[in-house]
Chain A
Amino acid sequence: MNDLFEDFDEISELAEGLNDAAPGGRIMAVIELADSADPAAIPYLAKAIVDADAGVRKQAAIAFTDFDGPETSAALVGALSDTDPSVIEAATVSLTELKDPAAGDSILPHLESEDPVKLAACFLGIKELRRSEALGPAIKALHHQAYEVRIQAVGVIGWLQDETALPALREATKDAEPKVRRTALSALGFSKSDHAEVTLITGLDDPEWIVREAAAETLAKSGGTACLAPLRAALKDDFWQVRLKAVRSLGKLNAIEAAMEIGPMMEIPVPNLRKECAAVLGELAVPETVQFLEKFADDTDPDVRKNVRWALGKLAA
């Protein structure tokens, strides 16, 4: 009768396939070991990840997504030094699947690695484990020459949400690489400090729109009163995406003084932006803005129209 059920074979039996002369047989053994989801398979997979054949090594790196803990992370970190790029790629993905903070034990010693690919992967892996010991190396790595490393280091700092790291994050918002600046600005969202706000305000003048967009968006979380004037200035940004986030943040910050500037923006022929403006005018509910809204109560764009009518309802209440 039990033939009907999927097997729960002894791990040592499954592992015998790792001695197969042909790589294909060893790959199959790795897959079966992974499917077992039994931690007893980890030592065998740790051998498979240093197999002579790259296909077996890659499969072992994938197999480790089914496991967690320091032995798993140790094997994966080792695979980051593989000669075959497909093995490194698989190991990098598997590192992001770790959940157990103890898995960080095997990653922490590698946070000063000379190899930028390995270093970036290690930061990426330890980010979600939120190990406070990673903060120092991450701050140090903000000066690494490879931006891929810097961006992951910023990620680690952002997830730790440690106010003492604010100076480092602020430094990172001046990075040469826009993607690092954007990530660093978004990472400031946890802080309500004046320093975070000032840094985000500076971000509104960044030469890259994706950075300005992140600054405008994050001010909804970290902004106080100082950012209101700069956000209002951002309403004239060349990019509608930045304007949209500025409008949204001004709404969330209840900046009624911005209402008469948002009103005329209803004329801009970008439906996504007009829709957001209408919603925010409703949130701010400044009586003088009725004139701007009424004009668009029968707008041809349904989403704009809906938000306008909703806003007019709010204003009437």
Chain B
Amino acid sequence: MTITITEPKPITFAAPVAGLAGAFAGLLVGTAHDNPLLGLAIGFVLTAALAFVWLGVFRHERIARWVTFIAAGTGGYLLAGAMGALIGLLFGWLIGWFIFWLGEGRYRAKLPPYTTAQQVFYHFAFRVLCGLIFFFLITPIVVVMPLSFNAENFFTFTPEMLRLDPAGYSLKHYKDFFTNDDWQQAMWNSISIAPVATMLSVGFGTLAAIGLSDEHVPFRRAIMTILISPMIVPLIISAAGMYFFYSRLGLQGTYWGVVLAHAALGIPFVIITVTATLVGFDRSLTRAAANMGANPVTTFFRVQMPLILPGVISGGLFAFITSFDEVVVVLFVGSAGQKTLPWQMFTGLREQISPTILAVATMLVIISIMLLTTVEMLRRRSERLRGLSPG
């Protein structure tokens, strides 16, 4: 739709800007060698010169970028070994791309032609800001992963790891997870608690959400508030209340106590997601089914269920992750026999700080990614089914 005009920009613009990026990298390298100013100057001059050569003298993008990539990698290796080479390669790839992005004027490709230079600057400044925020969101989760391969029992990167020395890495924490009885027991407990709790939440929750979608229900608001409350009430209060009450019923420290507590915590998620899918549900479909002689049960399973199924499944996943990830309530309501993975991690964090926790964390992140993908696919399918979005 937008008319894209990409035209080469003058070197007098591209070289200094690329130089600034180089100056920033030079500053970092410089401070590491106790001479920030020199680093800054060298960085600027080198990168600006590089940009000048590639854009003004030898304008073969493919070759130029490869050369930059390899040269920066070599430079990094000479300065700081294997880790330096890695960072150097990354930097070389970036700066090569950056020089041509600037020089060819590609940065304007997706902007309306009438945007002023200032607007372009703001546009990209905003993008960089957002990038930093995404960085903040993702880094902690990513950082955990390499640390879980630490060969030492520390929570920190060892010099061997930074040198990318294979001796600095090992699978021993994963081995520990799979051989240690405590962790295995915890995993089995999590696996045996979460699905049952999920089934309870989903079973009750779906029925109730269907009931709630009827506009004639009296006290709808009050009922909704009660059903949503497990999500709203601070966990410590829920945990304390359940601790005392379940003790009295003899449920404290039992499997069913934890399952019931987790089911209660998962219910709001099921209600919310299923209600959301029901908002777009066309009631005339059930009426049509009834008209054609289907009884309510058949109508439910053959007409209503397939349409709200994505909501039910994603609600179920939420309920599952709630139970699988829950620690406060299980700390109070459970006892040794119900120690779940998060509980084991929590004691681990407070007591013996071992990277086994990070190995578990890494595996949980991978499970999260798989669950997330499932939910995302279901959401798209649901929108397609309900005709809310094209293909």
Q: Do A and B bind each other?
A: no
Instruction: Give residues in A with beta carbon < 8 Å to B.
Output: none
